[in-house]
Amino acid sequence: MERTPLLDLPLIMPSQAQQHVTHNEALMALDGICQLSVIDRHLAAPPGDPANGDRYIVAASASDAWDGWDGGVALCVDGAWVRLEPRTGWLAWVEDEQLLLGWDGSNWIEPTGSGSGGSFSMLGVNASADETNRIAVAAEAALFSHDNVTPGSGDMRIKANKAAAGNTASFLFQTDWSGRAEFGLAGDDDFHVKVSADGSTWNEALVIDKDTGAVSMPNSAFGLKILTAHGTTGTSMASGAYVDQAWDSTTRNDFGGGAWSGTEFTTPEDGVYDLSAVLSCDTSVLSPTQADMYFLKNGSAQLGFMKITNGSAQNTVASRVVLALATGDTICARMRQNSGNTQVGLSAAAFSIVKLA
């Protein structure tokens, strides 16, 4: 045996002349291989002015002095290039990329656990990660659990963060790589649940309004859109004057914040709407002998007029109307009382709008 079995270093043989030459050759190879660190791995030809001891992983289609050295390690020794043939398991640090590579017998690859400080640019578990899917997992199941090693709260949250309201943060479910169901913040900050038959056309099954928590079902025949409000304690009505009622509490709003100011409803889309209101004067404050109300449309049209008379015991007035409204139409509820004094607040009040079709 004239060479070592692992690093292929030359051995000094008995009675060999100029044994120092063989010895020095072995030392130079060790000097190039041990603590292997290369400058670059993308050059296919030698650089113009190398320094003694420079090392490179030779890229594919090598040429000039590196011709045929693809994947090998080129070492500069006294102005000449020496080829170091990698063996399976060799590790090399690539200086310009701050990257650790391992030779698997055919290629230089990133070994498992090579991330600096536990940080990885990509991670594939039984799958190939890419620039879009930087974490890829192929498995029957995936488990995320609370930390039971370092005691904490016992909570476990999976976070999906997006840059702005117009972006998407969601969970997408696919069949043969084509979308079929999705839930999350899809293009705005409302919560959406939607489905698709082909991955292209999507139908929303459920939308939860971010401002109110109201739930709507846009594609359900039974998915009525509803607005309900109650209480007008902040409304002050001078005797004999109609006043637009301001509602203290909105209990449900499927139409979104832009459709409801607390006093005025702005129709978000064409349709048939059911309007209802019940107003009661507080007889502990005033005792009107007459009260009436109506719905005001677009600041002028009076709808559903209702009037009560004949004594303070009849202090509750109610009205309901069903009509077609166009996008942008406005609606508010007006009331008048005749006690002779200012009525501050009502004892009871309820208001609702239901989109029927």
Which residues are registered as beta bridge partners of 322? 274
SS (H, E, C) 270-324: CEEEEEEEEEEECCCCCCCCCEEEEEEECCCEEEEEEEECCCCCCCEEEEEEEEE
225-355 CATH fold: Jelly Rolls (2.60.120)
Tell if the pTM clears 0.85, that is, is over it: no
Tokens describing residue 187: 């293009």
Would you call 257 helix, strand, or coil by DSSP?
helix
| Gap between the Cα atoms of 293 and 304, Å rounded | 8
Q: Are 290 and 308 in contact (CB under 8 A)?
A: yes
User: CA triplet 17, 13, 90: central angle to 5 degrees?
Assistant: 120
Q: What are phi and psi of 19, to 5 degrees?
A: -60, -25
| Gap between the Cα atoms of 274 and 155, Å rounded | 45
Question: What are the pLDDT tens digits along the chain (357 aa)?
Answer: 476 555 565 666 666 666 655 655 665 666 557 778 899 999 999 998 899 889 999 999 999 999 999 999 998 888 889 888 898 888 999 999 888 999 999 999 987 654 555 667 888 899 989 989 999 999 999 999 998 877 778 899 999 999 999 999 999 999 999 999 999 999 999 999 999 999 999 998 888 988 888 788 777 666 678 899 988 777 788 888 888 888 888 888 888 888 999 899 999 999 999 999 988 877 777 777 788 889 999 999 898 888 877 655 557 888 999 999 999 999 999 988 888 788 777 777 889 999 988
Q: Are 346 and 279 in contact (CB under 8 A)?
A: yes
Q: How far separated are the first and last CA of the chain, in Å rounded?
A: 93
